[in-house]
């Protein structure tokens, strides 16, 4: 069974989704550690209650990003993970760290990349007036929020939406697609070719996502 380490900075709701999928028998992984850069991260307590080893490494105790990342990598490597999963880890990682875990470091981002990289994605989606928004699981590369895409989930943007309601709708999809992406990885179904992810046994029935919804009589 493959080993994963999860990095968090807060509650770690996507970490919770991974633990729940593991406990339900839907995700055959050994979550060997959860590591945070914040001692007050709620997810540390959640992980500990689930019997997972936890660690806290204070990024403020280091002279710079490279020094912190070096210590973080040292801690991660003590657990010999097959995969490192970012679940709300609010740190920009150095190029050397990312290259050290090339092909085995993944992240989830709350937008349909390459649209809206960075922060405040939901508010920016509303300001741009897009009709479809969502989330993306991707391999991490030195280019911020720009690695090969594994899976995406889309949700409609409603006229009644504000940042909170749109964020909540996207988060529900994050909790579904992140365990799926991790499962594909641990089952060796993912390969990267020319900067694109290929998935073994992809879905046989491609669907079309449209928002607002169209019917035979027009817009619904």
Question: How many domains are contained in the chain?
Answer: 1
Predicted TM-score (pTM) of the model is: 0.94
d(CA 136, CA 177): 8
For 9-62, write each residue's pLDDT tens digit. 999 999 999 999 999 999 999 999 999 999 999 999 999 999 999 999 999 999
Contact yes or no for 150/182 (Cβ under 8 A):
no
Helix and strand numbers, DSSP H then E, in the chain:
6, 11
Q: What DSSP element (H or E) covers 35?
A: strand 29-36
Give the CB-side neighbour count of residue 150, counting CA atoms within 13 A. Answer: 26
The pLDDT value recorded for residue 202 is 62
For 158-179, write each residue's pLDDT tens digit. 999 999 999 999 999 999 999 9
> What stretches of 24-147 show up as alpha helix (H) in DSSP?
42-49, 65-77, 95-100, 121-128
Q: Which residues are catalytic?
A: 109
Mean pLDDT of the chain: 94
pLDDT band at 212 (very low <50, low <70, confident <90, very high): confident
Rounded to 5 degrees, what are φ and ψ at 29? -135, 160
CATH number at residue 60: 3.40.50.170
- Would the pLDDT of 72 be above 80? yes
For 79-117, write each residue's pLDDT tens digit. 999 999 999 999 999 999 999 999 999 999 999 999 999
Range of the domain at 156: 2-219
- Would the pLDDT of 206 be above 70? no
The pLDDT value recorded for residue 50 is 98
């Amino acid at each position: 069974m493959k080993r994963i380490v999860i990095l968090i900075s807060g509650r770690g709701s996507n970490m919770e989704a991974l633990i729940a999928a593991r406990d339900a028998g839907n995700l055959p992984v050994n979550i060997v550690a959860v590591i945070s850069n914040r001692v007050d991260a709620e997810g540390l307590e959640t992980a500990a209650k689930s019997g997972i080893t936890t660690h806290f490494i204070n990024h403020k105790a280091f002279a710079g990003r490279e020094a912190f990342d070096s210590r973080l990598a040292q801690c991660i490597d003590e657990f010999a993970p097959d995969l490192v999963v970012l679940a709300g880890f609010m740190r920009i990682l150095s190029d050397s760290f990312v290259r050290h875990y090339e092909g085995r470091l993944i992240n989830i981002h709350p937008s349909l990349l390459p649209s809206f990289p960075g922060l405040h994605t939901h508010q920016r989606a509303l300001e741009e007036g897009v009709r479809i928004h969502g989330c993306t699981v991707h391999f991490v590369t030195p280019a911020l929020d720009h690695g090969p895409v594994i899976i995406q989930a889309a949700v409609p943007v409603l006229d009644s939406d504000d940042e909170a309601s749109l964020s909540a709708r996207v988060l529900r999809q994050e909790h579904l697609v992140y365990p799926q992406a991790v499962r594909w990885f641990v089952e060796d179904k993912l390969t990267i070719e020319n900067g694109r992810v290929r998935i073994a046994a992809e879905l046989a029935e491609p669907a079309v996502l449209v928002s607002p919804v169209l019917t035979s009589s027009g817009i619904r």
